[in-house]
Amino acid sequence: MFSKILIANRGEIAVRIIRACKEMGITTVAVYSVADNEALHVSLADESVCIGGAPVGESYLNMQAILSAALLTGCEAIHPGYGLLSENAKFAGLCAENGLVFIGPSAEVIEKMGNKDAAKRLMRSLGVPVVPGSEGIVATLEEAQENAKRIGYPLLIKASAGGGGRGIRKVSGPEELEQAFLGASLEAQKAFGDGSVYMEKFFSPVRHVEMQLMCDAYGNVVCLGERECSIQRKNQKLLEESPSPAVDDACRDEMTRIATLAAKGVNYVSLGTIEFLLTTEGDFYFMEMNTRLQVEHPVTEMVTGIDLVKWQIRIAAGIPLDFSQQDIQISGHAIECRINAEDPANHFMPSCGKISLLHIPGGPWVRFDTALYQGYTIPPFYDSMIGKLIVHARTREEAIRKMQAALCELVIGGIEQNRELQIEILSDPQFRRGEYATDYLTHQSFGGLLNDGIE
């Protein structure tokens, strides 16, 4: 096992990883930007290194600074968390070149799956059903028009290098195609440094259901059940649950079979997630693979009793899984609510400032993953997700009630946040029946709590 790990991230996920390391007896090194002097992950780690300026390009995406920090402090491995460098093949390769273990899959596998259209082609060749759309990249307007004829409207234009809900454009009819195609390519070039786009049939209503994978270096592949992630705003997840109210045992078995096929087909090693679109008819299609730890991993931990972060570290250290697919029992129901510093009534505008008051709910099977503390000032430079409230109960109904009680108890003073919106969702009869799809929030106003600007 490693004796010292550098955590190349910030916020709640850095704290989560530091906790796992402490329990495993691993010394931790935090890195931070000049804006994160007072951040919790810095004080919780055994050592810390300032790696640069506030913008992520100068610090959390500064590969040379992070690698130097790891080498100078004598680390053997780097955990990238999610976002930032977690799906950066170049960084994973540089770690290897410098004798550092990247806690995640190999640079080759990240590269293969990171390009979303190429990943779809690869999956299709393995026999995985994929979201219908263009055969790879669409390079010209003529190609876009030909594809549109075949796919039909509405359709989506997606950036091959996209992520985090960005780089996706809906096209309702032929009159919108030219502008959308050119705009999407330009935007993708600006945002991701790669203007390649591809096209997909737009499903609606549809659910986002994903399968958690855990694969060791010896060919053992285990699926840890699905997560329902259809409650979204701007194509980004807001509330997740496991199991999915839309997945029965037969569907879960089939998803497990397909996800296992996909993982084995690319010799996947580490944690990973296969994202599917699940239609109302019960068919599901591969959308993309996330080759990293996922924000919503705690709901899977709750229903399986398995610590995903610890296993991700063990796998990177070459330790084989000590359980197999038959050992996995999905027990009860878990829900996660993302707490974002943003204003739902004002187009989810990010909010920052000083946390004047903080009360974190407690009680049995209530977990709050956060890097907040009272008196902390949220800097304006980073992601708006400031915490995740997770609950576990025997049934979905009990879990909803537990989450409502916990949300009512949660107090975060001094900033705008989305607690009220989460409470509204949990009280909504349609949500309680489990009858919702990715367009759920576009049909809600919750008595004016949501403005009309939601896409």
- Residue number with CB closer to Mg ion (275 or 416): 275
CA distance 313 to 14: 14
List 82, 311, 348, 436, residue binding ligand ADP (CB under 6 A): 82
- Residue number with CB closer to ligand ADP (26 or 144): 144
List 70, 113, 287, 315, residue binding ligand ADP (CB under 6 A): 287
CB of 431 to ligand ADP, least distance (A): 16
* Catalytic residue chosen out of the listed positions 292, 314, 367, 419: 292
CB of 240 to ligand ADP, least distance (A): 8
CB of 227 to ligand ADP, least distance (A): 9
- Residue number with CB closer to ligand ADP (234 or 310): 234
Q: Which partner, ligand ADP, Mg ion, none, binds residue 242 by CB below 5 to 8 Å per kind?
A: none
List 69, 70, 131, 339, residue binding ligand ADP (CB under 6 A): 131
> What are the structure tokens assigned to 28, written together?
């931790």
Instruction: Give the per-residue contact string, 178-217, with ligand ADP (x = CB under 6 A; - = no).
Output: ----------------------xxxx--x-x---------
Instruction: Give the per-residue contact string, 256-275, with Mg ion (x = CB under 5 A; - = no).
Output: -------------------x
Q: Which partner, Mg ion, ligand ADP, none, binds residue 33 by CB below 5 to 8 Å per kind?
A: none
CB of 13 to Mg ion, least distance (A): 17
List 176, 288, 342, 416, residue binding ligand ADP (CB under 6 A): 288
- Bridge partners of 277, per DSSP, are 208, 285
Residues 399-418 that bind ligand ADP (CB under 6 A): none
Q: Is 124 a catalytic residue?
A: no
Q: Which partner, ligand ADP, Mg ion, none, binds residue 270 by CB below 5 to 8 Å per kind?
A: none
With contacts defined by CB under 5 A, how many residues of the chain interact with Mg ion? 1
- Cβ atoms of 349 and 343 closer than 8 Å: yes
CB of 206 to ligand ADP, least distance (A): 5
CA distance 129 to 257: 12
Task: State how far Cα 367 lies from the chain centre.
Answer: 18
Instruction: Give the per-residue contact string, 151-170, with ligand ADP (x = CB under 6 A; - = no).
Output: -----x-----xxxxx-x--
Q: Is 5 an interacting residue with respect to ligand ADP (CB under 6 A)? A: no
CA distance 115 to 56: 22
Instruction: Give the per-residue contact string, 273-292, with Mg ion (x = CB under 5 A; - = no).
Output: --x-----------------
Residues 17-46 that bind ligand ADP (CB under 6 A): none
Q: Which partner, ligand ADP, Mg ion, none, binds residue 202 by CB below 5 to 8 Å per kind?
A: ligand ADP
Cα Rg for the chain, rounded, in angstroms? 21
Residues 211-270 that bind ligand ADP (CB under 6 A): 232, 235-237
Q: What are the residue numbers of the active site?
A: 292
Applying CB under 6 A, which residues contact ligand ADP?
82-83, 131, 156, 162-166, 168, 200-203, 206, 208, 232, 235-237, 275, 277, 287-288, 290, 294-295, 383, 385, 438
Applying CB under 5 A, which residues contact Mg ion?
275
